[in-house]
Amino acid sequence: MAVDKKKKKAIDAEITNALLDDFDKFEHFAITYWKQIGGLAVAIVVIVAIWVMVSESQKATGRRIKDEICNAKTEAAIIKVVKEYPDYPSANYARLRLAKIYLKNKKYNKAYEQFKLLRAAKIPREMTWRISLDESYALEAEEKKSSAATKFAEMGVDPSLPEGFRCEANYSAGRIYAGLKKNNKARKYLIKASKVRPGMNNPASKFWADQARFILTRLPEAPKKIAAKK
């Protein structure tokens, strides 16, 4: 008799399970485990809320630091922010501003020090190119004109540089050589600077090309070669 009751309960359970649709099953599960479900839902909401708060806080901090770095204009202010936030990408641009301040104040060694630090950091290629130009201008300002012209000339033939940078470098090399009365070298680099590739509509390239043509018109003409007598 006991066996019959167990069989009957099993059969009733199967019938009940078959009759319950998916919604009823879910409702039954929810009623049975409502405390656990409620606790899990609250935990998820709390975790998401904390993540949003932390994320927004980090963004706000990042914006504040970026603004602080960008607003640093004086030598003292820039030194302060790059010391406090050396790992922020914006700090590299602040260092470049600091180097330019040093160049303006003729503190060349300090400027070169900043350039060295920038080269050791992870900076965009464009910044590296700009640093090379600034270093060349610094050499010129130090009256190391031959060294400056050589450095400009090396940049002018570097195919990895954009045309605007090459035009500026070739023009600068030619301009310095013209000032040194090395007219053949001056003409060589000024001609390079003046030849902008067809179809290029780069304002920087056009500007330096026009400057190069202007100086070319004022250079003494190259001496004509006298044909050897037969």
- Interval 65-99: pLDDT, tens: 666 777 777 888 888 888 887 778 788 888 888 99
The confidence score (pLDDT) of residue 127 equals 87
Query: pLDDT-derived band of residue 179, with 50, 70 and 90 as boundaries?
Result: very high
Domain holding 55, by residue range, is 35-123
- Is the residue at 29 inside a domain? no
Q: Are residues 197 and 164 part of one domain?
A: yes
Given a cut of 60, whether residue 199 has pLDDT beyond it is no
Q: 0.85 exceeded by the pTM?
A: no
Burial zone of 110 (CB within 10 Å; 0-12 exposed, 13-18 middle, 19+ buried):
middle
The larger pLDDT score, comparing residue 150 to residue 86, is at: 150
Given a cut of 70, whether residue 173 has pLDDT beyond it is yes
Highest mean pLDDT among 13-22, 82-91, 120-129, 210-219: 210-219
Cα–Cα distance, 212 to 106 (Å, whole number): 27
Per-residue pLDDT, averaged over 96-108, amounts to 90
Cα–Cα distance, 132 to 39 (Å, whole number): 62
Q: Are residues 115 and 46 part of one domain?
A: yes
The confidence score (pLDDT) of residue 83 equals 85
- Is the residue at 3 inside a domain? no
Task: Using the 3D structure, point to which of 91, 123, 155 is the last residue of a domain.
Answer: 123
Count of domains for the chain: 2
Highest mean pLDDT among 77-81, 179-183, 203-207: 179-183
Task: Using the 3D structure, point to which of 64, 88, 123 is the last residue of a domain.
Answer: 123
The confidence score (pLDDT) of residue 155 equals 94
- Is the residue at 130 inside a domain? no
Q: Are residues 94 and 157 part of one domain?
A: no
- Is the residue at 223 inside a domain? no
Query: pLDDT-derived band of residue 230, with 50, 70 and 90 as boundaries?
Result: very low
